[in-house]
Chains A and B, each alone.
Chain A
Amino acid sequence: MAYVSLILGRVGKAVIVLLAILVFNFFLIHAAPGDPAAVMAGEAGATDQQFLDDLRERFGLDQPLPVQLWRYMSGVLQLDFGYSYRQQMPVLDLILDRLPATLLLTGAAFCISLLFGIIAGTLAAMRAKRPSGSIIMGLALLFYATPLYWVAMMAVLVFSVTLDWLPAYGYSTVGAGYTGLAHAGDVAVHLILPALTLGLFFMAVYTRMTRTSMLSVSQQDFVKTARAKGLAPGVIQRRHILRNALLPIITLAGLQAGQMVGGAVLTETVFAWPGIGRLMYEALMQRDYNLLLGIFFFCALLVILFNMLTDVIYRLADPRIKQGAT
């Protein structure tokens, strides 16, 4: 069936893209100066060449690059992402350990930005000529233009330091030993600031985009048809204008969703959130090749998955797209 062949074709392409990304990243990482052995030796204070050579031999770094690539790739094909000598743990375990925290943060930020962005954009479009509409757009522009780290630091300053409403950092209260619902509540309170900070930029983007899109859709002929039917303004806005205006938002949301794993480095660092972003930053500083490659792999995997998901959603939302775009 055409449906099955389409999915198979997509998956086939995705696998090829993933492998290509791995190879590319592999060479990119090895092109950077220094290697894990040098970093570890430096930290240990040893400059002994013999020690360095031993380390390199243990990590397999003494082999020619193509051999290293071959070993790594054949491992990946068996879902073995190697061992992080720095963290003394298998890469897969490390990533899977950190992944939930990151997905929780970015997922929350995604939902917040999409939901509030569309609501604010709709309001701004309906009040395009009134002061309230201008205020919404002014705020959107402010959040759009302000750097993320600055928003994060100011949020901590106001809501944690001055007002003391919300915790300034971390995933949960250390040593509180909450369980069940209490734990969930504790995490949720910790989540608020980082998720809002991370979501603000995209919220502003969605607001602006929804407004523009709604205003242009409201000029179209079928809106006039809807009015000629005698429909109430609210129904016209929701059913005719907003639905059509959301199509370009889906594209953008797909892009944002693709950044869910790798896009939160800054926020996780500022708020000491134990996610993939911080793990990646540490791995980069320590030249932890296997770990870095593993994280890159997961980032790429998620981007590809969300791209496919966006395509599917787009097809559901717009009946005009029937052909298997390739």
Chain B
Amino acid sequence: MSEPIQESGAPLLRIERLALALPEGADRLYAVDNVSYDLTAGEILCVVGESGSGKSMTANALMGLLPTGVHVAKGRALFDGQDVLAMDEISHRALRGRRIGMIFQEPMTALNPLMRVGEQIAEVFEAHGLLTPRARKEKALALLEEVRLPDPASALRAYPFELSGGQRQRVMIAMALALEPELLIADEPTTALDVTTQAQILHLVKDLQARRGMAVMFITHDFGVVAEIADRVCVMREGKIVEMGEAREVLDHPRHDYTRALIDAIPADVVAAVGRPADVLAAVERPADVLAAVERPGDAIPPQRDDKDSSPLLSISGLDKVYRSSGGWFQPKREVVALDGIGFSLGKGETLGIVGESGSGKSTLGRCIVGLNRPDNGEIRLDGVDLSALEGRELRAHRRRIQMVFQDPYASLNPRIRVGMAIAQGPIANGVPKAEALAQAQALLATVGLDGGAAERYPHEFSGGQRQRIGIARALALNPELIVADEAVSALDVSIQAQVLTLLDDLKQKLDLSLLFITHDLRVAAQICDRLIVMQKGRIVEHGIAREIFLSPQHPYTRELLEAIPGRRDAPEPATAAAGVL
């Protein structure tokens, strides 16, 4: 499968017919099966695939970080002529960190919480017996400057929890680059980040790669990212390479159906298409459900308004919420303004998107509406009843009417409770007899596209997408009028995302629901929302009809969000002024 390399000389990395065996009882025999590719110095190769495609496994094998149970069945991985898979542990260790650096997906957990950032960077030099402790510290400072952390001197002394996600990922990059490795492996390094932060990190990786002439293996599920940085692409599915080639070539003329499906699954094209009239024609070939977002009439209030009274279902005014933390030993009291004078309304049957980055207050807003948090000031009126003024029994009676779908499909279901019971608990708490509630749960599972046997199983037996369906069924169990979906598809693969979004949209139509869709991802909002609210630092900076916001964003922040979406072909380089401010 491997493409010929234009440059003369042997590639830096050559993977030959690699097969990694999974432990017995897995859904397939090999994590990766007969995979071969080359990577030349100075090249960025994107390995693309959805979760379970085996895209990270090769990288882990190179680093000697394979999970227990997975082992090399056959094949070689020649790094600079040496087979790293056949190396003894000590020479492999000498390679790790020094000649091959790696950054990981989760910046929040990839750093030791008890060690200062500077110590963790200095540790890389220490691991390879280089430099004196003082020189290590100076080098760490220089590295933090190179990855453009604001105030590197104080970041050196900071603990990871004192840094934001983007800043931590910069620290990870500094660490991986400390010894100027020839190969950098980046395993979904931007997946957990906000879109503007993601753009900055991508820019940084590309910039450092160009300056140092490293080879980069960039693992991602996102073709938007591919369009942004890749020289070459390798698409993987179920452990096999389905397509490989120059990035431009694969993006413009995908040969394999799977590649095409992945590229189509990215709603970025919808946004781009809306943005540039010339491309709307091209978009006609796309699947109908993706197009729906573009072609839906841009009414602020959907057609159902005619046969209902015109008063909105939910109306919010003057909502304030400030988080106060009591002062620590050496710290003054801290106040974080999460909501600052928020007001909007939501019609019956309407889908409203709330878009913003982490820290914008969008989740707090969702939690206030559902009643998990109490606002400091303001009104939340549901059909005219002010929920924020209710307490106790009355509040509980109204809670049924607003239900929530949570972000993390893994953490939001109790692992010890069968799925059927998890769905039935809400109705049971509201006085429905147990048998009836369980029967209803069965029906709901069918509604969200799961088979009837699902009710008897435990959450861990389901995939992420299936669990999110269960979460939706649970929310529906109480016959709510409004569903608040807080980042409900953010943790899912793009193709699964599209399925869950379609499901939500179908259910909304069928059950006459209103939907409040909270997301950081403008691409997702593009697919499902009638109207949009853009939040920044607890305030609404822009609101309007979804389509119009995409066509002509008014607020600079909205424009910044739109421009940061990776894979927009006319995307300008992220503003360097903003690069340091994460």
Binding site for B on A (CB under 8 A): 2-3, 6, 220-222, 224-232, 235, 239-240, 243-244, 315, 317-320, 322-324, 326
- Considering only residues 323-343 of chain B, those with a C-beta below 8 Å from chain A are 325-332
The interface bits of chain B over 157-198 (1 if a CB of A lies within 8 angstroms of the residue's CB, else 0) are 001010000000000100110000000000000000000000
B93 touches A230 (CB 8 A): yes
Residue from B65, B109, B111, B112 whose CB has the most chain A CB atoms within 10 Å: B112
A323 touches B128 (CB 8 A): no
| Residues in B neighbouring A220, C-beta threshold 8 A | 109
A324 touches B93 (CB 8 A): no
A2 touches B330 (CB 8 A): yes
A232 touches B159 (CB 8 A): no
**A–B Cβ pairs within 8 angstroms, 8 of them:** A3-B329, A224-B65, A230-B93, A244-B112, A244-B114, A322-B328, A323-B328, A324-B326
B331 touches A229 (CB 8 A): no
User: Is the contact region of chain A dominated by helix, strand, or loop, or is it mixed?
Assistant: helix
Contact with A222, one of B113, B126, B128, B161 (Cβ below 8 angstroms): B113
A222 touches B110 (CB 8 A): yes
A229-B178 Cα distance, complex, nearest whole Å: 10
Binding site for A on B (CB under 8 A): 63-65, 93-98, 101-102, 104, 106, 109-115, 123-124, 126-128, 159, 161, 172, 175-176, 325-332
**Closest-CB distance, B364 to chain A (whole angstroms):** 19
A324-B332 Cα distance, complex, nearest whole Å: 11
Given the known A-B contacts A3-B330, A228-B102, A324-B326, are A235 and B127 also in contact in the complex, defined by CB atoms under 8 Å? yes
| Residues in B neighbouring A320, C-beta threshold 8 A | 113, 159, 161
B127 touches A232 (CB 8 A): yes
| Residues in B neighbouring A226, C-beta threshold 8 A | 112, 123
B96 touches A227 (CB 8 A): yes
A230-B179 Cα distance, complex, nearest whole Å: 11
A230 touches B104 (CB 8 A): no
A317-B114 Cα distance, complex, nearest whole Å: 8
| Residues in B neighbouring A317, C-beta threshold 8 A | 114
| Residues in A neighbouring B127, C-beta threshold 8 A | 229-232, 235
Query: Which A-B residue pairs are the 8 nearest by beta carbons?
Result: A230-B97, A322-B328, A230-B96, A221-B109, A229-B97, A228-B102, A231-B127, A319-B159
B114 touches A228 (CB 8 A): no
A6-B172 Cα distance, complex, nearest whole Å: 36
| Residues in B neighbouring A221, C-beta threshold 8 A | 104, 106, 109-110
Chain A minimum-CB-distance residue to B325? A323
A198-B371 Cα distance, complex, nearest whole Å: 51
B112 touches A2 (CB 8 A): no
**Closest-CB distance, A243 to chain B (whole angstroms):** 5
**Closest-CB distance, B172 to chain A (whole angstroms):** 7
B96 touches A228 (CB 8 A): yes
A230 touches B331 (CB 8 A): no
**Closest-CB distance, A224 to chain B (whole angstroms):** 6
| Residues in B neighbouring A2, C-beta threshold 8 A | 327-332
A224 touches B97 (CB 8 A): no
A322 touches B123 (CB 8 A): no
A229 touches B124 (CB 8 A): yes
Taking A227-B65, A230-B124 as given, write out 13 further A-B residue pairs in contact, using a Cβ cutoff of 8 Å, ordered by the A residue number. A222-B111, A224-B110, A227-B96, A229-B96, A229-B175, A230-B98, A231-B93, A244-B113, A322-B328, A322-B329, A323-B326, A324-B327, A326-B326
A229-B174 Cα distance, complex, nearest whole Å: 12
A2-B326 Cα distance, complex, nearest whole Å: 10
A240-B115 Cα distance, complex, nearest whole Å: 9
| Residues in B neighbouring A319, C-beta threshold 8 A | 113-114, 159, 161
A240-B126 Cα distance, complex, nearest whole Å: 14
B113 touches A6 (CB 8 A): no
A324 touches B328 (CB 8 A): yes
B101 touches A228 (CB 8 A): yes
Given the known A-B contacts A221-B104, A222-B113, A235-B127, are A228 and B327 also in contact in the complex, defined by CB atoms under 8 Å? no
A42-B328 Cα distance, complex, nearest whole Å: 59
A221-B102 Cα distance, complex, nearest whole Å: 12
| Residues in B neighbouring A231, C-beta threshold 8 A | 93, 97, 123, 126-127
**Closest-CB distance, B191 to chain A (whole angstroms):** 13
| Residues in A neighbouring B328, C-beta threshold 8 A | 2, 322-324
Given the known A-B contacts A243-B114, A319-B114, are A228 and B97 also in contact in the complex, defined by CB atoms under 8 Å? yes
| Residues in A neighbouring B124, C-beta threshold 8 A | 229-230
A55-B127 Cα distance, complex, nearest whole Å: 77
| Residues in A neighbouring B97, C-beta threshold 8 A | 228-231
Chain A minimum-CB-distance residue to B96? A230
| Residues in A neighbouring B65, C-beta threshold 8 A | 224, 227-228
**Closest-CB distance, B180 to chain A (whole angstroms):** 14
Chain B minimum-CB-distance residue to A321? B328
A320-B115 Cα distance, complex, nearest whole Å: 11
**Closest-CB distance, B114 to chain A (whole angstroms):** 5
| Residues in B neighbouring A235, C-beta threshold 8 A | 127
B175 touches A225 (CB 8 A): yes
Chain A minimum-CB-distance residue to B333? A2
A230 touches B128 (CB 8 A): yes
**Closest-CB distance, A311 to chain B (whole angstroms):** 11
Given the known A-B contacts A3-B329, A324-B328, are A222 and B112 also in contact in the complex, defined by CB atoms under 8 Å? yes
A324-B114 Cα distance, complex, nearest whole Å: 19
| Residues in B neighbouring A324, C-beta threshold 8 A | 326-329
A224-B329 Cα distance, complex, nearest whole Å: 33
A2-B328 Cα distance, complex, nearest whole Å: 7
A3-B93 Cα distance, complex, nearest whole Å: 45
**Closest-CB distance, A220 to chain B (whole angstroms):** 6
A2-B327 Cα distance, complex, nearest whole Å: 7
| Residues in B neighbouring A3, C-beta threshold 8 A | 329-330
| Residues in A neighbouring B95, C-beta threshold 8 A | 230
| Residues in B neighbouring A232, C-beta threshold 8 A | 93, 127
B112 touches A240 (CB 8 A): yes
A232-B104 Cα distance, complex, nearest whole Å: 20
Chain A minimum-CB-distance residue to B327? A2
Chain A minimum-CB-distance residue to B95? A230
Chain B minimum-CB-distance residue to A317? B114
Residue from B114, B159, B326 whose CB has the most chain A CB atoms within 10 Å: B114
A322-B161 Cα distance, complex, nearest whole Å: 11
A225 touches B104 (CB 8 A): yes
Contact with B94, one of A230, A240, A243, A318 (Cβ below 8 angstroms): A230
**Closest-CB distance, B21 to chain A (whole angstroms):** 19
**Closest-CB distance, B330 to chain A (whole angstroms):** 7
Chain B minimum-CB-distance residue to A240? B112
**Closest-CB distance, B156 to chain A (whole angstroms):** 14
Chain A minimum-CB-distance residue to B92? A230
A323-B128 Cα distance, complex, nearest whole Å: 38
A35-B102 Cα distance, complex, nearest whole Å: 74
**Closest-CB distance, A316 to chain B (whole angstroms):** 11
Given the known A-B contacts A3-B330, A6-B329, A324-B327, are A225 and B161 also in contact in the complex, defined by CB atoms under 8 Å? no
A240-B123 Cα distance, complex, nearest whole Å: 11
| Residues in A neighbouring B161, C-beta threshold 8 A | 319-320
A320-B112 Cα distance, complex, nearest whole Å: 12
